[in-house]
Amino acid sequence: MNSIRTYILFLFLAFGLQQAQSQSYHFKTSGFSVLEKNERGKWGEWSNLDLVNLSVVLDTNKHRIVVYSQEIQLFNILDYIEREENDTDITYSFMCKDNDGRECKLSIITRKKQDFRKQLYINYDNRIIVYNIFTV
């Protein structure tokens, strides 16, 4: 009987003290640029690269991506798109909803032929925001 009690206590402690392993990825930005559609629905030109130092967190446990800009940009992940890879890029994409409930696609792209530089693309129907990011 004493060994059963010890076994139950061991199981309780083993399961009770386990911490969930968080899949959280932290990035910093170094710059961003914006591309918008004009009145005719044609893509314009990328804006000049603005230097910014922001934090970006991809949290797969909470199913969200957060860009800690002056106005926090919260993207709830609706769907994880299968990883894509070709000769030049490795792409992880996510279908999301932003703070305002608008759907968008976020992609983290690693540029193989550019010293494995990383970029975060936020794609809406009428504009694209790109952040140059690096892992911290």
pLDDT at 83 over 60: yes
* pLDDT tens-digit readout, 16-61: 434 445 589 999 999 999 999 999 999 999 999 999 999 999 999 9
0.85 surpassed by pTM:
no
- Listing DSSP states for the chain in one string gives -HHHHHHHHHHHHHHHSPPP---EEEEEEEEEEEEEB-TTS-B--PPPPBP---EEEEETTTTEEEEESSS-EEEEEEEEEEEEE-SSEEEEEEEEE-TTS-EEEEEEEEETTTTTEEEEEEE-SSEEEEEEEEE-
pLDDT at 1 over 60: no
